[in-house]
Amino acid sequence: LAAAHPLRRGDFTWLREQALQWLLGEYGLEADAARSWAGAAMDRFMLLRHRVTPHPEVDSLLSSLGRDYRLASITNGNVDVHRLPLGRHFPVAIAAGELLAPKPDARPFLAALARLGTSPAGTLHVGDSWREDVEPARRLGMPVAWISPHVDDTPLPIGIHRLNHVRELPQLLHSLVGVEQG
């Protein structure tokens, strides 16, 4: 479906609704009924998609980080970050569907940098996907905190820092800022 509609490849809400509509049609529903049921299912999905309960420590972590840094969110998910319980911590939020360019495309990263008014070298990207977070951020010259709880002693390229958990982020930031100031 994404290959047939390349301009919509990052609009996961549209892709999911179209796929569901097609599937319902394959099971014998008329086009109007399939469209109606797919729309109703996606409405319900989106309602439930925004009903998340974050881990208890994340709110205080983001509050603390937000006092010293401007935070941004880049997601390939079809969520409105500002509707989520933690959305208030992110003055900048980029969703793949907004730009129709999901990660690893550079455009979401460049949009976030522009909205933050920062340079790649002065902005730490935090992510959990090597392909969708680490590689594109690194190509742009951003330092990266890669959340990868898998124990691996493989040396990482300069500027990429492995974290087991997001709780380790303040310590990494402290060490990076200390290096810059030293």
Confirm if 142 and 109 have CB atoms less than 8 A apart: yes
Residues 6+ apart with CB under 8 A from 36: none
Confirm if 45 and 16 have CB atoms less than 8 A apart: yes
Confirm if 64 and 170 have CB atoms less than 8 A apart: yes
CATH architecture assigned to 56-181: 3-Layer(aba) Sandwich (3.40)
Return the pLDDT at 82: 93
Q: For residue range 46-91, what is the model confidence (pLDDT) as tens digits? A: 999 899 899 889 999 999 999 999 999 999 988 899 999 999 999 9
For the chain, domain boundaries? 6-49, 56-181
Retrieve residue 165's tokens. Answer: 């958990």
* Distance set, CA 162 to CA 86, 88, 144 (Å): 24, 27, 8
Distance CA 77, CA 120 (A): 23
pTM for the predicted model, two decimal places: 0.83
Q: For residue range 7-21, what is the model confidence (pLDDT) as tens digits? A: 788 788 899 999 999
- Output DSSP code: residue 140: T
